[in-house]
Structures are given as C-alpha cells and as structure tokens.
Amino acid sequence: PNGDGVNDNWVVGSLADVYPEALVVIYDRFGKELIRFRGEDANGWDGTYLGRKMPATDYWYEIWIDEIRKKYVGHFTLINE
C-alpha cells in the first residue's frame, strides 16, 4: 500500500458478490489475528494493525464460507513501497 489507489487494500476478488457473508481472517507470521471482516466489506485489509503499517512480509488468511461449509487457507506477501 502506497496510497496511489492501485492495490492499496488486500481484497478477495468477487467474494463480496458471491459470498457476502464469508468470514475473512488475516494473521501475522506468529499466528496473531490482525483483522477479520465479512466478504461484503469491499475495503478488505489496508495493511495496518491498530492504525500502524505492518511490515512487508508474508501473512496468512482463512476464508470461511458457511453456505458451502468450506474453509480456504493460504498466504500472501504484503509489499510496502
């Protein structure tokens, strides 16, 4: 996130349209929960925790979709410019 309006937030594609009630949880590398939000939250995650920018590193996510009783897990790399 560098404030240019391009990829400034981590958002899961069309999750808001298909599964607006899906629960998204993001963790740091130590397993600390940083944020949780619903699929309908088009803002996603802005790379901050308690108002502070998080370091450029890997983060993990869980997406629970109750409608299909499925959990997706994975990771992504946050890049700060």
Neighbours of 2 (CB within 10 A): 11
pLDDT of 16? 87
pLDDT (0 to 100) of residue 1 = 62
Q: How far apart are CA 50 and CA 33, in angstroms?
A: 12
Tens of pLDDT, residues 33-79: 999 999 998 788 999 999 999 999 999 999 999 999 999 999 999 98
Question: What secondary structure letter does DSSP report for 66?
Answer: G
CA distance 54 to 35: 12
Predicted model pTM? 0.87
Span 21-33, pLDDT tens digits: 999 999 999 999 9
Q: How far apart are CA 58 and CA 75, in angstroms?
A: 7
Q: Is the pLDDT of residue 81 over 70?
A: no
Ordered strands of the 58-65 beta sheet: 33-38, 23-27, 58-65, 70-77
Q: Are strands 58-65 and 52-53 parallel, antiparallel or unpaired?
A: unpaired
